[in-house]
Amino acid sequence: MKIKRRISLVKMSKLDDESVISELTKIRGIGPWTAEMFLMFGLKRKDVFRLAILLY
């Protein structure tokens, strides 16, 4: 069964980065990396980086 969900760029643009990531990762198939790419390329956020990558 497919569930249709729409993402509102207007609503997402009003949220802070952590809230956007939290909302997007609720969707099956979207993980933290994809959510961060959405922040950078979809919402044009500049200060997005993976802290976990820096720790390795």
- pLDDT per residue, tens digit, the chain (56 aa), is 566 678 888 999 999 999 999 999 999 899 998 999 999 999 999 888 765 555 44
Asked if residue 4 belongs to a domain, the reply is no
Asked if residue 19 belongs to a domain, the reply is yes
Structure confidence at residue 3 (pLDDT): 63
Structure confidence at residue 47 (pLDDT): 81
Give the whole-angstrom CA distance, residue 47 versus residue 30.
20
Structure confidence at residue 9 (pLDDT): 86
Give the whole-angstrom CA distance, residue 41 versus residue 2.
26
Give the whole-angstrom CA distance, residue 1 versus residue 14.
31
What's the total number of domains in the chain?
Answer: 1
CATH of the domain at 41: 1.10.340.30
Asked if residue 1 belongs to a domain, the reply is no
Asked if residue 3 belongs to a domain, the reply is no
**Whether 40 contacts 51, CB under 8 Å:** no
Asked if residue 43 belongs to a domain, the reply is yes
Give which of 5, 2, 51 is closest to 24, Cα–Cα.
5
Q: What is the span of the domain harbouring residue 27?
A: 9-55
pTM: 0.75
